[in-house]
């Protein structure tokens, strides 16, 4: 069937309507305004799923003029960068539209003039921006091979390289691919095997590699690991770790990590003068330059006494401390709290108190002028939002990596708050992911 693509969804599919008006989601490299030939693969109660056969051209129909040739050699095969075929300015428009759609459709903010008012700030780099990459390891042609998963599967696709990864990661990946230990690859069905993931991080002055294993290694295995660490050490690697993950789930990293070479700590420098240290399992935004812009934006929106929840190792905390008289940061993971305290000392930040605890159990004193939230993709638990509504700080700044849960949570907070502004940040060029900052002010 022929369909006109109206917009791109947050899953990367094109939304269209069939002749009877029903919604059809078309997977494949489509863009708004294009007429496509599509094959229906599944029919649901309220919509259908289809796959792209071809973009129709001729008789007044043409490709979107902002379509470009993808850089990646495994585009359409790898499950990663779904927007490489769109000119960068169009990528920004698509991401702003995704945020607007979520706030309107899921948050009910139709009367708040959201549509057309969300700007997506461009990343300083559109390529080679990622300071971290996690590569699943599978068996390809009989040998252990690191790569990325094919779209919608756990089949490892071998990579000639990845154009969004920082150049040091590209060099380390190419070398590691030739030197992976000759050990059994982890099997998700039997939960047996050693090699699970290769994790690489690269900053301005340091680099970390970690091999994630599903079982204890024998002496030969450890010798192979040491050999791999030596190969990467010649490319600027400053520390190599072994992460142990025997769990049966899809979580990449386990709870126990041991340093094979170096300290096991990775450091990243931010453009504003901060240096943040983290370990193998710690979270840092993968696009350092864009993260600095987002953090500076959030910091400008607060002042006085600030409560920061889901604070991690303290990257955003450092920025908040510049504009606030006092910051109380709360993080559930004990190791991250310790690293946050060390990062405050490292950067000469003296007006921050780092606390261990769940965000839902944080003491929301009325003395806080603002609460800053940066939750995982699942968003905030309802109990936390209720606590905020009860304490009623003057301002809430919500940093989100998921427009859908942001919209859901902002709708709950709207019982006591007005949505003042929304700004999107393109933290992940070429992909469908977008980071958003929503500022909400207490209703008077």
In angstroms, rounded to a whole number, what is the distance separating the alpha carbons of residues 170 and 164? 9
Told to judge if 354 belongs to the known catalytic residues of this protein, a careful annotator would answer no
Residue 442 pLDDT: 97
Domains of the chain from N-terminus onward: 2-65 (2.40.50.140), 100-124+287-442 (3.40.50.150), 132-269 (2.40.50.1070)
Give residue-wise pLDDT tens across range 305-319.
999 999 999 999 999
Region 149-166: mean pLDDT is 91
pLDDT band at 151 (very low <50, low <70, confident <90, very high): confident
Strands of 119-191, DSSP E: 119-121, 132-140, 143-149, 156-158
Which tokens belong to 118? 């969300």
Q: Which residues pair with 201 in a beta bridge?
A: 132, 208
CB neighbourhood size of 30 (10 A): 26
Backbone phi, psi, residue 57, to 5°:
-130, 150
pTM, two decimals, is 0.94
The enclosing H or E element of 325 equals: strand 324-331
Residue 322 pLDDT: 96
Terminal-residue alpha carbon distance, the chain? 54
Q: How much of the chain exceeds pLDDT 90, in percent?
A: 91
- Nearest CA to 270 out of 317, 203, 213 is that of 203
Q: Which of 72, 81, 278, 401 is catalytic?
A: 401
Measure CA 228 to chain center.
28
DSSP 8-state code for residue 183: -
In angstroms, rounded to a whole number, what is the distance separating the alpha carbons of residues 175 and 173? 5
């Amino acid at each position: 069937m022929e369909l006109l693509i109206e917009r791109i969804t947050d899953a990367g599919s094109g939304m269209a309507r069939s002749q009877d008006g029903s919604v059809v989601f078309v997977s494949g490299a489509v863009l708004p305004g294009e007429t496509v030939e599509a094959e229906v693969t599944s029919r649901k109660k309220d919509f259908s799923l289809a796959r792209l056969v071809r973009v129709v051209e001729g008789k007044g129909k043409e490709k979107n003029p902002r379509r470009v040739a993808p850089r990646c050699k495994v585009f359409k095969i790898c499950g990663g960068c779904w927007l490489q075929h769109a000119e960068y300015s169009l990528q920004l428009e698509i991401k702003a539209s995704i945020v607007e759609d979520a706030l309107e459709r899921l948050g009910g903010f139709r009367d708040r003039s959201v549509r057309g008012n969300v700007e997506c700030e461009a990343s300083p780099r559109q390529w080679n921006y990622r300071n971290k990459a996690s590569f699943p390891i599978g068996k390809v042609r009989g040998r252990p091979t690191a790569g990325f998963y094919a779209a919608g599967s756990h089949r490892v696709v071998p990579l000639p390289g990845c154009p969004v990864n920082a150049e040091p990661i590209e060099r380390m990946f190419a070398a590691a691919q030739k030197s992976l230990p000759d050990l059994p690859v982890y099997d998700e069905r039997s939960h047996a095997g050693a090699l699970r993931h290769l994790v690489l991080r690269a900053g301005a002055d340091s680099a970390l590699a970690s091999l994630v294993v599903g079982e204890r290694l024998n002496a030969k295995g450890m010798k192979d690991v040491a050999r791999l660490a030596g190969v990467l050490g010649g490319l600027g690697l400053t520390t190599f770790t072994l992460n142990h993950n025997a769990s049966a789930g899809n979580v990449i990293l386990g709870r126990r990590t041991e340093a094979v070479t170096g300290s096991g700590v990775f450091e990243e420098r931010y453009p504003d003068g901060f240096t943040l240290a983290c370990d193998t399992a710690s979270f840092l935004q993968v696009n350092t330059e864009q993260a600095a812009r987002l953090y500076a934006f959030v910091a400008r929106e607060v002042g006085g006494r600030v409560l920061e929840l889901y604070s991690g190792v303290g990257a955003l905390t450092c920025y908040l401390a510049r504009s606030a008289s006092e910051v109380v940061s709360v993080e559930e993971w004990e190791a991250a709290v310790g690293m946050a305290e060390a990062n405050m000392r490292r950067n000469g930040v003296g007006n921050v108190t780092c606390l261990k605890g769940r965000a839902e159990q944080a003491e929301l004193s009325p003395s806080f002028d603002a609460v800053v939230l940066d939750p995982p993709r699942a968003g905030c638990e309802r109990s936390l939002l209720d606590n905020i509504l009860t304490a009623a700080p003057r301002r809430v700044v919500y940093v989100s990596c998921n427009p859908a849960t942001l919209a859901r949570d902002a709708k709950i907070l709207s019982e006591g708050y007005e949505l003042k502004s929304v700004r999107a940040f393109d933290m992940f060029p070429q992909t469908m992911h977008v980071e958003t900052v929503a500022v909400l002010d207490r209703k008077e």
